[in-house]
Chains A and B, each alone.
Chain A
Amino acid sequence: MNKPRNILKYLTNPLLLLPAVAIDIVFLIFPFFYGLYLSFMSSMKSPTFTLENYVYCFSGYSSMLLTTVEMAALITIILIVVSLPIAYFLAIKIKSDAIKTLILLVILAPFWIDWNIRTIAWYPVFGAGGFVSTIHLWIMHALGYHSVQPISLLYTLISIIITWIQSYLLFMVVPIYLILLRMDPTILKAASTLRAGTFKTFYHITLKWSFPGIIIGSVFVFSLAMVDYATPILIGGGLPTIGVTVWNLGRWVQWPKAMAMSMIILALILVVIAVALRKVSVTRIIY
Chain B
Amino acid sequence: MNKISLLIAVYLGATIFLVYLPISHLILFSFNKISSLYYPFNGWSFKWYEAFIEDPAIIISLRNSIAQAIITTIITVIASTAAALAFRRRFRFQNPLFYIILLGMIYPGVTLGLTNLIVDVQVLNLPLSIWTISFTLSVWCIPFGLIILLMRFDPKLSRYEEAARIHGASEWKVFRNVTFPIIKTELIVVALFAFTLALGEVFRSTFVSPPTSPVLPVLLLSTLASYPPTPKYFALGTVIAVVSLATILTGGAIMSRRGGLLVRK
Contacts and interface: CB of A to CB of B under 8 A. Distances in A.
Contacts, number: 285
B194 to A, nearest CB: 13
A131 to B, nearest CB: 7
Interface string A2-23: 0001001100111111111101
Nearest to B119: A31
Question: How large, as a class, is the contact surface on chain A?
Answer: 35 or more
Contact of B111 (A14, A109, A130, A246): A246
19 contacts: A19-B78, A20-B83, A27-B139, A28-B107, A89-B8, A93-B5, A107-B15, A113-B241, A116-B221, A124-B29, A125-B21, A125-B22, A129-B36, A169-B15, A243-B108, A250-B117, A283-B94, A283-B98, A287-B150
Contacts of A18: 82
Given A20-B80, A127-B37, A227-B111, 20 more contacts: A13-B91, A19-B82, A20-B83, A24-B139, A26-B135, A34-B118, A85-B12, A86-B12, A104-B262, A113-B244, A114-B217, A133-B39, A166-B18, A166-B22, A169-B19, A247-B206, A250-B110, A265-B108, A269-B108, A286-B98
Given A34-B119, A262-B111, A16 B85 contact: yes
Task: Select the residue from A114, A243, A247 with max chain B CB neighbours within 10 A.
Answer: A114
Contact of A230 (B16, B28, B107, B202): B202
Secondary structure class of chain A's binding surface, majority of residues: helix
Interface in B97-150: 97-98, 100-104, 106-119, 122-123, 135-136, 138-139, 142, 146-147, 150
A166 B21 CA distance: 10
Interface string A106-150: 111110111111101111110111110110000000000000000
Nearest to B252: A105
A122 B170 CA distance: 57
Given A31-B119, A100-B263, A250-B114, A286 B79 contact: no
A243 B9 CA distance: 36
A31 B229 contact: no
B126 to A, nearest CB: 11
A262 B262 contact: no
B240 A27 contact: no
Interface of B: 1, 4-5, 8-9, 11-12, 15-16, 18-23, 25-26, 28-29, 36-39, 75, 78-80, 82-83, 85-89, 91, 94-95, 97-98, 100-104, 106-119, 122-123, 135-136, 138-139, 142, 146-147, 150-151, 170-171, 196, 199-203, 206-207, 216-217, 220-221, 224-225, 229, 233-234, 236-237, 240-241, 244-245, 247-249, 252, 255-256, 260, 262-264
B88 A105 contact: no
A101 interface: yes
Contacts of A26: 135
Contacts of A246: 110-111, 114
A222 B108 CA distance: 11
B233 A117 contact: yes
A55 interface: no
Contacts of A8: 171
Given A13-B86, A23-B79, A105 B203 contact: no
A169 B264 CA distance: 21
Contacts of A283: 94-95, 98
A66 interface: no
Secondary structure class of chain B's binding surface, majority of residues: helix
Contact of A34 (B79, B123, B138): B123
A29 B116 CA distance: 10
Nearest first, the 6 A-B pairs at minimum CB distance are A117-B237, A129-B38, A31-B115, A112-B244, A121-B22, A16-B86
Contacts of A5: 170-171
B101 A121 contact: no
A141 to B, nearest CB: 14
Task: Select the residue from A26, A109, A233 with max chain B CB neighbours within 10 A.
Answer: A109
A44 B39 contact: no
A109 B18 contact: no
A16 B95 CA distance: 16
B203 A230 contact: yes
A23 B21 contact: no
B101 A24 contact: yes
A24 B22 contact: no
